[in-house]
């Protein structure tokens, strides 16, 4: 084999290697947007999970507040009824503000039970 043939074979091997390297670099370049998009989707999924967990905790807190409010309303209504009953048994007049408080509370409860509040 002469030098010219060997040189041609080496150039062919180097050109083939160069083409393989360029093809690899091109495939990496083309997959970059996909990889970036996949990272963004993964980070957004994590954020959505965090938001859903936060909402769940918030809903639990609202449920707790609703229960507390219900207990306070029932206690207030019981105290108003007790005071009115006391006034009846002692033959004392019921104050307008006490009667108005009872009516306001009953109206509020009626609206709340019908979903208008």
pLDDT in tens, 71-108: 999 899 999 999 999 998 999 898 899 889 999 988 98
Asked if the model's pLDDT at residue 114 lies above 80, the reply is no
DSSP for residue 114: T
Q: How far apart are CA 97 and CA 78, in angstroms?
A: 16
Which structural domain range is residue 88 located in? 3-113
Q: Domain count for the chain, please give it.
A: 1
Determine if the pTM surpasses 0.85: no
Q: What is the mean pLDDT of the chain?
A: 88
Rg, the chain, Cα only: 40
Q: Supply 59's token pair.
A: 């809903």
């Amino acid at each position: 084999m002469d030098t010219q043939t060997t040189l041609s074979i080496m150039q062919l091997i180097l050109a083939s290697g160069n083409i393989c390297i360029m093809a690899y670099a091109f495939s990496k370049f083309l997959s970059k947007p996909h990889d970036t998009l996949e990272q963004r989707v993964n980070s957004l999924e994590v954020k959505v999970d965090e938001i859903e967990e936060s909402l769940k905790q918030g809903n639990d807190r609202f449920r707790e507040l609703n229960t507390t409010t219900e207990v306070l309303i029932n206690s207030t209504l019981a105290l108003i009824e007790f005071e009115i009953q006391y006034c009846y048994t002692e033959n004392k007049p019921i104050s307008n503000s006490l009667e108005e408080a009872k009516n306001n509370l009953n109206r509020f409860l009626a609206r709340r039970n019908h979903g208008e509040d």
